[in-house]
Structure 1
Amino acid sequence: MDDSRDLDDREWDAVRALQPRGVPSGPTTTPIFNGILWQQSGGRRWHDLPTRYGPWHRCAERLRL
């Protein structure tokens, strides 16, 4: 069951300014960020990350930046 909720455009605009400098941004940034939120909500396993967020290892790597 997927009970998470992705950020909408307005929420993403508010969060975008909080990203550390030097972190790559672009069209894949939003799914990666939402994937991190998905994993962090409830301590889910990275390997269970839904494919709509991209490869699990990319989200995990971005969280470590």
Structure 2
Amino acid sequence: MFLFAAAAVFTLFFANVALGAFGGGGFLSDVGEMLVLFAASVLFVAAILKREADHKNKNGS
């Protein structure tokens, strides 16, 4: 779930950057871009930590 959310938020960030690069003007401000990228990073880290915890509990270590 966290990984899907991270991918969705990163897609939003990528779409904004792509629109800005091709002259369409992005829909997020600089601060908005930073917050969206930060949210994607936090969600990705949460997904990785959850997966490691699940793996650890599965193996009984």
Q: TM-score, normalised by structure 2?
A: 0.33
RCO higher in structure (CA 8 A, sep ≥6): 2
Structure with greater helix percent? 2
Larger Rg computed on CA atoms = 2
